[in-house]
């Protein structure tokens, strides 16, 4: 018996806690379609907030971060789910 097989045979399997952490969904694994829809809505809300903040930046602030007003307009034209 190899070392890894011997070790797995000796140790009992640890029970997996539920729900399992999933960082892409805020720390908890999606319970199914509802969780995916909720994650999508959260992302859409964050995108909308970030775009509002981007639209409010002055020309000086935009130059400082290396973004043109045309790029801002293009970003604002995107649908909420992108």
Is 44 in a helix, a strand, or coil? Answer: helix
Helix (H), strand (E) at residue 65: helix 59-65
pLDDT in tens, 63-77: 999 999 999 999 999
pLDDT in tens, 37-63: 988 999 999 999 999 999 999 999 999
pTM: 0.56
Rounded to whole angstroms, the Cα distance separating 77 from 69 reads 12
């Amino acid at each position: 018996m190899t070392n890894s097989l011997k070790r797995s045979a000796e140790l009992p399997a640890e029970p997996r806690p539920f729900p399992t952490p999933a960082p892409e969904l805020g720390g908890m694994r999606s319970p199914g379609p509802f969780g995916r829809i909720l994650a999508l809505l959260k992302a859409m809300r964050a995108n909308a907030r970030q775009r509002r903040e981007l639209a409010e930046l002055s020309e000086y602030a935009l130059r400082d971060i290396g973004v043109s007003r045309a790029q801002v307009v293009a970003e604002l034209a995107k649908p909420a789910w992108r």
